[in-house]
Amino acid sequence: MNDRPYKVFKIDNGTVIDHISSRMALKIIDILKVQEQGIISIGINFNSKKIDKKDIIKIENVYLDKKETDLIALLSPNSTINIVKDGIVIEKRKIDMPKEIEGIIKCPNPMCVTNTYHDCSTKFIVVRYDEASTILRCYYCERETPVLPMLIQ
């Protein structure tokens, strides 16, 4: 049974996010805010040829655009995006790190205007990133922070 191939049903139409760093799938669904949009299948800790273990997400009948899928870079920069139409992968897309992130991440500084004033949404500039972490700077209070799952709104 150890070599049993993993199976999540193929989809007819929608977006497949593949090669997700292990255990990031649920946080990525939070970031994409797609919970209400369609039928979502999630695989966690699947065996992979390319990476050690991977997660996978399939969102039926939703075509995520590049701006949306680039947000996945915050948690899993080596994921691949597959757009499926009529059962065929019509686009295989890499993700690029966005330059700015609006909303999505909470500023860790309790005195930041985004935490003290209700109508102020957050904005961060991506300062630098590598395989291990992504560092953001708050546009408003200039506090620098790595992307931590607990900061995802």
d(CA 140, CA 153): 17
Instruction: Give the range of 19-27, 78-86, 93-101, 110-118 binding Zn ion by CB under 5 A.
Output: 110-118
d(CA 81, CA 62): 12
The beta-strand segments (E) located in the chain are 14-21, 40-47, 53-60, 80-85, 88-94, 100-102, 123-129, 134-138, 144-146
Residue 27 contacts ligand CTP per CB under 6 A: no
d(CA 101, CA 152): 11
d(CA 113, CA 116): 5
Which position among 22, 37, 78, 82 is part of the footprint of ligand CTP (CB under 6 A)?
A: 82
**Of Zn ion, ligand CTP, none, which one sits near residue 107, judging by CB under 5 to 8 A according to partner kind?**
Zn ion
**Of ligand CTP, Zn ion, none, which one sits near residue 16, judging by CB under 5 to 8 A according to partner kind?**
ligand CTP
Which position among 22, 37, 78, 80 is part of the footprint of ligand CTP (CB under 6 A)?
A: 80
User: Which residues inside 80-109 make contact with Zn ion, applying CB under 5 A?
Assistant: 107, 109
Which position among 87, 111, 118, 132 is part of the footprint of ligand CTP (CB under 6 A)?
A: 87
Q: Classify residue 26 by its DSSP letter.
A: H
H helices of the chain, where?
A: 25-32, 66-70, 113-116
Which residue's Cβ lies closest to ligand CTP?
10
Binding mask 56-75 for ligand CTP (x = CB under 6 A): x-x-----------------
- Applying CB under 6 A, the residues found at the interface with ligand CTP are 10-11, 16, 18, 56, 58, 80, 82, 84, 87, 89
